[in-house]
A = this chain, B = another copy of it.
Amino acid sequence: MEARKSDCRTLRSVKQHRGSRPPTIRQVADEAGVSTSTVSRAFSRPEMLLPSTVTFILEVADRLGYQPNPTARALSTGRPGTLAIVVPDIANPFFPPLIRGVQARADEAGYSVLLGDSDERPEKEVVLVAKLGARTEGAILASSRMSEATIREHASQRPIVLVNRDIEGLPRVLIDTASGVAEGVSHLAELGHRHIVYVSGPSSSWSNQQRRSAARARARRFGITFTVVAARRPTYEAGAAVAEQLLGSGATAALTFDDLLAQGLLAGLAKQSVAVPDDFSIIGCDDVLAATTHPPLTTVSAQGGDAGIAAVDLLLATIRGEARGGELRVVIPTSLVQRATTSQPRVHPSAVR
């Protein structure tokens, strides 16, 4: 096989330079003396062609600097080859590992990832999901702040996988921090604490609800006093701000919605000259700060990256229509990571030793 019609395609064969359109399948076909279908197949289904044809075409294509146009391919096949991931706040350290996992896995599967940040605002999330949904094959909603009804509505339009949001019937991956949190409460109870407080995060967060109720249930089981203190956003500042309030509550230990809050609390307590863990114990959640806090934070591990990978797998399965009933709900286990912010509560000074 050799190149035919390699005659003058008037001006079209000029070497590419800034501004010239990239070569199309048509040009490769002409240059190689085959039909466009053949060129198309050489790229999408090479097994249908003679190996020699494939190599020849690929060579010609390469020489011309041809690359299949993803947009055209998307329109023709109806498969954009992209996924969307939307999160409430990229800057919250819980999400980067998650996003990283998503992007890596999607990439392996030949997909690209569109990212959306809703800025913790449900209305903005709605718009984003609609906008991104139209240009993707499916979306992953991490810690969605939208109402269940709204989510269901979106899910009826296109494949959607939820992360840390438990809605019956929808594919979802849940990081089961509840078990880790319960473990944390047990740990505190066994240490001798009789009054603990839970510093809550965003009220519309499923994770927050899970953690709060898991902590409460376990506390009840041990018969220890359980109080809830609300922090606004899950931030360092908010954590530092609730320190005083905790001290006045009579509690000797706190579990916080996440590590950021715990870290802030650590600072707030330090400012009040309260020693951690000697005077007060703290347990965070998510394990996104590793041992970088001072002292190193005891927390509940959460494999954000794994969740991202699982979410992509689930989404891909859903897209392909392989998502069978049972596997709709993937649960990722967690456990308590003991570092240095918990210890026995300080007993009455005179009783020490």
Binding site for B on A (CB under 8 A): 16-18, 22, 67, 69-72, 74-75, 80, 82, 89-91, 93, 95-97, 99-100, 103-104, 107, 112-117, 119, 128, 130-132, 134-135, 156-157, 236, 263-264, 267, 270, 290-294
Contacts and interface: CB of A to CB of B under 8 A. Distances in A.
A292 B236 CA distance: 7
Nearest to A102: B115
B70 A135 contact: yes
Contacts of A290: 236
A294 B240 CA distance: 14
A164 B112 CA distance: 24
A199 to B, nearest CB: 17
A323 to B, nearest CB: 12
Nearest to A84: B112
A99 B130 CA distance: 21
B115 A114 contact: yes
B112 A131 contact: yes
A314 B192 CA distance: 59
A97 B96 CA distance: 11
Given A69-B134, A112-B135, A236-B290, 11 more contacts: A67-B130, A69-B75, A70-B135, A90-B96, A103-B116, A104-B117, A115-B115, A263-B292, A267-B292, A270-B294, A294-B294
A271 to B, nearest CB: 11
Nearest to A270: B294
A263 B263 CA distance: 14
A236 B293 CA distance: 11
A-B residue pairs, 4 tightest by C-beta: A294-B294, A115-B115, A70-B135, A91-B96
Contacts of A263: 292
Contact of A132 (B104, B112, B134, B292): B112
Nearest to A134: B70
A267 B263 CA distance: 15
A128 B74 CA distance: 18
27 contacts: A16-B157, A18-B156, A22-B157, A67-B134, A70-B134, A71-B71, A71-B75, A72-B75, A82-B135, A89-B100, A90-B96, A90-B99, A91-B100, A99-B115, A103-B116, A103-B117, A104-B117, A104-B119, A107-B128, A112-B116, A112-B132, A112-B135, A114-B115, A115-B115, A267-B291, A267-B292, A267-B294
A103 B115 contact: yes
